[in-house]
Amino acid sequence: MHILILGGTIFLGRHLVDAALALGHQVTLFNRGHHHPHLYPNAHYPHLEQLRGDRDGGLYVLKGRTWDAVVDTCGYVPRLVGDSARRLADAVDHYTFISSLSVYHDFTVAGIREEAAICTLEDETVEDVTAGANGTYGPLKALCEQAAAAAMPGRVLNVRPGLLVGPYDPTDRFTYWPVRIARGGDVLAPPTSNAPVQFIDARDVAGWVIRMAEQKHVGVYNVTGPATRLTFASFLEACQVATGSDATLTWTSARFLAAHAVRPWVDLPLWLPDEKRGLLQVDIAKATGAGLTFRALTETITDTLAWAETRPDAHAWQAGLRPEREATLLTLWHQLRV
């Protein structure tokens, strides 16, 4: 196949390129060239073509070209996703849109399936993408799905990933834990040890997406993992084993963390309050039934740690507790337990 990837140089996009090339496909990237513009030197990637342009008004560079499939990794505003899908409607057979589990309306329940209610916006012309409980990110992703489906009815695969992890992850939400556990010592852990966690290696998503595009699958799929229930304790213990760490896990309480303004998901990644825990208990039976598979957790942990160690010492962490703050919190917690 000849695959067009909108984006392709950040995290999942990089893994999509690798997966497509490994499967023998021809790849064209369309992006602005703002991120890693020298990532794919022509001499080393004879089956990869790069087109420069901004999808907001710059889609004309795609005119007159055809591809078998397109994967849209960087759609956040429905106007722009709709523009891209309409422009490519006669140029491709199949459109994959990378959406998000954030489209769902109610995370107080476990086992969310693809037909569950999704978020809405009162003003659907809003284009300011914001995060948080009342942010626009999830509703806008839902509208993007609808825009793609309207432009190419019956030809769109909407992929709703959960937390993507692994090498090149810019969010640090997963990376924090292998790095912190590898450092050893007393580790501040959230409540509770048996809380469920879900995430998926971006490489597993990438390979599955390319195979789904090959087979022209359409519809909506929740895509996260692992295949069976994983608890926070099991995850951190896997980090201990994979890194050979002597770290000691200190499980705290929601009351303590709230009293000290420790933010779920940000300061302690993968921890969510009870009213949001449905985000980490999503039903993925449809995707596994369509061939989604998972590499070993230890592989994801060790590969992520190896990649993290290549980053500069001055890397600005996007998630997790700074060592000084963690030490202060641990001291306060142990004082309370005396």
Q: Is 36 a residue whose pLDDT tops 90? A: no
Assigned token pair, 231 = 């608890």
Q: What percent of the chain has pLDDT over 70?
A: 100
Q: What percent of the chain has pLDDT over 90?
A: 94
Local confidence band at 337 (pLDDT 50, 70, 90 cut-offs): confident
Rounded Cα gap, residues 176 and 304, in angstroms: 10
Digit-coded pLDDT (tens) for 120-161: 999 999 999 999 878 999 999 999 999 999 999 999 999 999
pLDDT number for residue 89: 98
Rounded Cα gap, residues 171 and 148, in angstroms: 26
Q: Is 251 a residue whose pLDDT tops 70? A: yes
Q: What's the rounded mean pLDDT across residues 310-330?
A: 97
Digit-coded pLDDT (tens) for 278-302: 999 999 999 999 999 999 999 999 9
Q: What's the rounded mean pLDDT across residues 103-131?
A: 96
Go through the domains of the chain in sequence order and give each one's CATH number: 2-167+198-223 (3.40.50.720), 176-196+229-276+297-337 (no CATH)
Digit-coded pLDDT (tens) for 220-230: 999 999 999 99
Query: ∠37-41-46 over CA atoms, to 5°?
Result: 130
Strands, sheet with 156-161, edge to edge from the N-terminal-most edge strand: 48-52, 26-31, 2-6, 69-72, 94-98, 156-161, 219-223
Q: Is 6 strand, coil or helix?
A: strand
Q: Facing residues of 93 across strands?
A: none
pLDDT number for residue 338: 67
pLDDT number for residue 51: 96
Residues 6+ apart with CB under 8 A from 313: none
Average pLDDT, the chain: 96
Local confidence band at 204 (pLDDT 50, 70, 90 cut-offs): very high
Higher pLDDT, residue 36 or 86:
86
Local confidence band at 216 (pLDDT 50, 70, 90 cut-offs): very high
Alpha-carbon torsion, ordered 9, 15, 21, 23, to 10 deg: -160
Assigned token pair, 86 = 């309409």
pLDDT number for residue 92: 98
pLDDT number for residue 33: 87
Rounded Cα gap, residues 137 and 147, in angstroms: 15
> 53, 6 in Cβ contact below 8 A?
no
